[in-house]
Structure 1
Amino acid sequence: MVKSLCLVLLTFVPLLWFARESDGMPDPARRDLLMREEVSRQTGGLLTLTAAEQKLDTCLHRLKEQEMAATLFPPAEHFFKAKLLIEKSPIYKLLQKMPKGAALHVHSSSLVSAEWLVKNVTYRPHCYICFTWDNSVRFLFSNRQPFPRWDCFYWQLLESLRARIEDNAGFDNSLIQHLTLFTEDPDGEYPNQDVVWEKFEKAFIAAAGLITHAPILRDYIYQGLEELHKDNIMYLELRSGLSRTYELDGTIHDKVWTLKMFQEVTSKFKQNHPEFFGARIIISVHR
């Protein structure tokens, strides 16, 4: 009887101990150890912060808590509504000053802001505009009025058109809307993905007439590098189909000319900004 009782105790006491260890309540010390090990395996997890870095980390953490406690939390809003909040955000302004390394997937058609295209490029001489039947626009630089084509029956010199318009600021904003997806009512304007994609395609087609003009393309690449550099980006990989570029007289340049021009502009930018590492083109196709 005593022997049987001892056997029972030897069998069940270890099981009770094991059940305590696996009952869903782990040892807090072991849990903290596991969390520290997980953090150590993250990028930079083995680095020890200096006193100044710890001070910055504390400041950044405080700013994040303040932003999360605000009435409007940018990540919870539609991007079109959150964009202004983000630009005013202390965290955004802080991150903007920090080095970013590289931008590895930028398309040549969207390298530069739409504001620069409208308020700089469309004000240059010999720029023509046409309003299409499907509520879009086309641009073309020419030393004479372009001939009508299937999607553009009437080309107007932008300089002359602006001279007849009283509200040039409003007109420029309407052009910017043609070159972007931005709208104050995204849910109503884009009820489904097909509508968004159609507007997306129209924006790139509209910009193409500006960007593929040879003198503009040269300035466009340089301006794009300037805008990236302003955000402390030090290297660029640009995806491009290398569309043919044109001159005022209609002369067409091939892809080799475009590649050489890109190389020249990048070299010039590096001379003016020695800390910039460089840029390369990744040839892609339209999908």
Structure 2
Amino acid sequence: MSEEFYGQIFTKQQKLEYVPSNKEITRWALRVIHLLYPEQTAKVFSTVDELKSEFALLEAELYKIMEATSACADCDNKKRAAGFFESLPHLYQVLNTDIQAIFNGDPAARSEFEVIRTYPGFFAISLYRLAHSLYTRDVPLIPRILTEYAHSKTGIDIHPAAVIGDYFYIDHGTGIVIGESCTIGAHVKLYQGVTLGALSVDKSMAFTKRHPTVQDNVVIYSGATILGGETVIGSNSIVGGNVWLTKSLPPNSRVYHTPSIRILKKLTRRIFGEQK
């Protein structure tokens, strides 16, 4: 290999010398979530002052991460880090509505503790909400790292720019995709395999509204695909499993997929030489 090649790689490494790894960034985020929900780790502080100190430490760490990952020389990262932590009481209240929605909506949920400790839907939502708060403060890179980490752990892919209302409920969750410009109202419930995506992935559509809007009190069952920035699912609607939608639904709609199924009442075949 040429000296020029070695030089290119070395120069790139020098530029990244002080950039924290994805693992360090996600570890910071999980520590924030664990402070809000000690049910996940059972870590208990002896005094309120100890808890305050831990929050202050995490704020200082966020500032350092922002300084290392932001290419903006004029950005006040200290102010943005402080603003994020000032927003935590509101974020905590919203996350509590998500817990309530999951607990109230899932017959299998025995306690809110169980929801916090074991449900992948809540894990993905909590990292999304944290990432979205950073995203709205124009923090680059970190929000995508956090939601992609949640994606890798749960199979739930939520872009940090998506806008999602209170009492959000993801049931099972694996395979859910929520696109960048998606808007979701309050009291919405999604099952596994739901896609809220774009009709086109052409690069020219960047920075446009290309993902659906889902209004309040909507249920979307497993495998449904809803595409397009002009597609609106009206409030109080139900979208059945495996439905494909590229057009809007008015409020109070019910739409279902009706597959053609043939049932063989009597099936004769041989298995391992025996008549079945």
TM exceeding 0.5 = no
- TM-score scaled to structure 2, two decimals? 0.25
- TM-score scaled to structure 1, two decimals? 0.25
Larger radius of gyration: 1
**Which one has a larger percent helix, Structure 1 or Structure 2?**
1
